[in-house]
Chains A and B, each alone.
Chain A
Amino acid sequence: MAASSDRNPPPFPSSEEPEAGLSDMADGDSDEGEDIFVNNSNPVAVSRGVSQPDGVNEEPPDLFSEEEASNPITKSNGVHSDDDNDLFAEAHVELSTDKSGNSSGKDLSSVSGPRTTSSFNQSPASMQPTSLEQLEEEEAKDSFDVDVAVTNPEKVGDGMNAYMAYKVSTRSSLPMFRSKTFSVRRRFSDFLGLYEKLSVKQSLHGCIVPPPPEKSVVGMTKVKVGMDDPSSVEFVERRRAALERYIQRVVSHPSLLQDPDVREFLERDDLPRAVNTQALSGAGFLKMINKASDAVNKMTIKMNESDTWFEDKFQEVENEEQQLRKLHALVDSLVNHRKELCGNTAVFAKSMAMLGNSEDNTALSRALSQLAEVEDKMEQLHQEQAASDFFIFAELLADYIRLLGAVRGCFDQRMRAWQRWQEAQSTLQKKREAEAKLLWANKPEKLQQAKEEITEWEARVTQYERDFDRIGMTVRKEVLRFEKEKAKDFKSQIIKYLEAMLQSQQRLIKFWEAFLPEAKAIA
């Protein structure tokens, strides 16, 4: 089911307060907010990863061969513009289709186990919303549609006991909810609490439970203390967006959506405060995953996999996690350098203005002042680009580093299930040996007991084997779903990123087109 990518959906959300001032994400420095999020507030019709139905129609083009990619590099960054003549000759994109491209559809059909049509639908909720103003609705196409938004961070209380409360708004046509649209207020620890409940229940089944965003003592303290500086505003927005993505991922998971804790989280007005959330954020979360991994590694009996899929996939996941970490560090560095560039460009613009002032040729003087203005605008573009890098790209990577940890976690769960099964088998074996001994020793009452125990353990062995098989199937299904979601997610984020870049370039063109006649007028 291909959905058109250029729909103009009805605006989210509910009939409650008018969300007109959506660009004021923080209830404070709306100015700062706007500066950072100028990109996001542009109502470009961003497709939320719509255009990848079953992957069959979608043949990813072989746009750029490696040779083309390397050519720009070998062109010298020379002083003379003559060198640049042919740069964009090769940039005329060859849209050749790659037949072997995306057979994700085939992959999915090979997955064993029952699957409801809803499981593999493109849930709009799984897409990262571009921003509040652009939350698009994919109505009626999906058999389950739930859309959740996290908005309006508000500080509650004062001093060190203060906390941020967020509005969590849900819109859904599903009958399981009490109404079509509703909202509640939640705080950060509520989100963590939800995760705790879900991971305890669901990961036992091999489910990939999306992990929540990380705690940050420093960030939160500044907010509590009431600092309204840009970095605090940025922090709050970052957290808000991360919480939104988190809850979107939860509700777009078919099994998790059915979980009563999720419904309670979304609907219940008075949620009991979550305790023990210390262990579950950031470092704590990773520690937990790694501890589980260690336990698995220490297993004495090594599993003999008849099917190497699990081993191979696990290795892939580990490698990818490593790569993403590396990439994330690089993007962080980029964000910092761009911020530095902002500052330096602003300073440069001023020095050009000064130069223009001292120039005694009138036309040149005017042109230099104009140039200074253009450079000033460039500074703003750099700043927005930095924000884009960060909010779109870096955060995406951070999310997936955490998610991959969760994926590893469910592999470990499967191993534990196997271990349980093996241990049960060995216990059964021991019981049987004991029975044999008793038979020989001729002690009828003890024999009776032994037989009962054997029956009990036989049942357990059967149960655990079934559990193991089931968890294996679930893990497989989950991983495939995860990969599909990941591809969609990355795609939609890259689209967002490229669109931001596109707008940047368009503005850049405007600036320089305005400047060119001034330069030509110099005489």
Chain B
Amino acid sequence: LASPPRAVNVDLQTDATLQVDISDALSERDKVKFTVHTKSTLPNFKQNEFSVVRQHEEFIWLHDSFVENEDYAGYIIPPAPPRPDFDASREKLQKLGEGEGSMTKEEFTKMKQELEAEYLAIFKKTVAMHEVFLCRVAAHPVLRKDLNFHVFLEYNQDLSVRGKNKKEKLEDFFKNVVKSADGVLVAGVKDVDDFFEHEKTFLLEYHNRVKDASAKSDKMIRSHKSAADDINRIASSLYTLGTQDSTDLCKYESLLKLLTFLCFKIEARVAADEDLKLADLLKYYLRESQAAKDLLYRRSRALVDYENANKALDKARAKNRDVLQAETSQQLCCHKFEKISESAKQELIDFKTRRVAAFRKNLVELAELELKHAKGNLQLLQSCLGVLKGNT
């Protein structure tokens, strides 16, 4: 697999001190093996350039280690890449194989090509998502120094991080339940700081709207795909029809059909590209905005802890018991809260900058892609019509 182009959704500053990319990927039966390639001038690494092979679970392990690290509470943790999911595509290919007998050789070949292209597209996307995650980490001033990250990049053996077992998954589930209950509690606390109050309101609404838009764009894509599938089948059928005719007159007809077939093909292809661009962008920002919300939540938690520590200190002073302990605790909470607030502010500003840049890039690319395709279609249609109408 040739090195996939840089992640489309994010605009990252990279520098020579640490560059990470996924140089290769291999899709096996039930897993994908990513070759993570690093180039670095940092002294932490034994070599300047090296590669390791990682699987999805190891990415998740790395992500989770960031989330669980208290020191990183004040940062937007780059969202974990979604699990590679080839099930649907594989199922379609399998169904095609089963139905081979019921269609003509041409139909089968064409459908197979289409499905393989689809599989390839999904594959490329999953590689890109994993790469984006690593690049975001590498671009982050603090996270890039994380020890686990370096181990992830450099350690050329299996990290032996098996997927979470049932018990762990259940624990996660409860953690999330508690979090959302807390979230409701915490969201009610009005923030003294205008900046954060605004961000909270904004992010809550924004996240919901992105979620909605993402779901609706998926639905739209599915319809478009269904229509495109129909068009493919029609094209194959037209092709069969054409080859059956024996007289010269009808051969002309079969040429006409080939033309139609081609125009159809163009439309079917375009449907996939442009929809995916927008849909992927929305999906990505759904995850990012969730990560930003998580940051706000952690800050709110820290604020609540701080306020509780204040109350505890007051109580301790009133009773004149364990005052020192209460003071230390309060100072720690204060420090933690301020640290988070400071970095959170910068993170949220960066998030906005990144978001605006990413949308701009993608919307421009989307428009350019649409135009390119439409102009190509137009040219093709004009040529076809010219020929059909007898003007050569």
Contacts and interface: CB of A to CB of B under 8 A. Distances in A.
B390 A487 contact: no
Contact of A484 (B249, B266, B273): B249
A80 B5 contact: yes
B360 A364 contact: yes
Contacts of B227: 334, 337-338, 341
Contacts of B387: 60-61, 63, 93, 95
Name A's interface SS.
helix
A303 interface: no
Given A58-B390, A73-B110, A494 B259 contact: yes
Interface stretch (A193-201, A264-272, A288-296, A320-328): A320-328
Contacts of B250: 483, 487
B121 A508 contact: no
Contacts of B216: 344, 347-348, 350-351
A88 B265 CA distance: 12
Interface in B252-271: 252-253, 255-256, 258-263, 265-267, 269
Contact of B372 (A84, A100, A107): A84
Contact of A505 (B363, B369, B374): B374
B28 interface: no
B260 A497 contact: yes
B332 interface: no
Contact of B210 (A103, A320, A355, A508): A355
B213 interface: yes
Given A52-B390, A73-B113, 9 more contacts: A2-B390, A72-B265, A73-B110, A91-B266, A93-B387, A104-B249, A341-B224, A498-B259, A502-B385
Interface in B152-169: none
Interface of A: 2, 5-6, 47, 50-52, 55, 57-58, 60-64, 68-70, 72-82, 84, 87-88, 91-93, 95, 98, 100-104, 106-107, 312, 316, 319-320, 323-324, 326-327, 330-331, 333-334, 337-338, 340-341, 343-345, 347-348, 350-352, 354-355, 357-361, 363-364, 367-368, 371, 483-484, 486-487, 490-491, 494-495, 497-499, 501-502, 505-506, 508-509, 512-513, 515-516, 519-520, 522-523
Name B's interface SS.
helix
Contacts of B366: 519
Contacts of A104: 248-249, 252
Contact of A502 (B4, B110, B213, B381): B381
A334 B258 contact: no
Given A63-B387, A320-B241, A512 B118 contact: no
B247 to A, nearest CB: 7
B48 to A, nearest CB: 28
A519 B213 contact: no
A273 to B, nearest CB: 40
B108 interface: no
B121 A351 contact: no
Given A70-B113, A102-B248, A516-B368, A330 B237 contact: yes
A326 B4 CA distance: 41
A140 to B, nearest CB: 20
B219 A347 contact: yes
Contacts of B128: 79-80
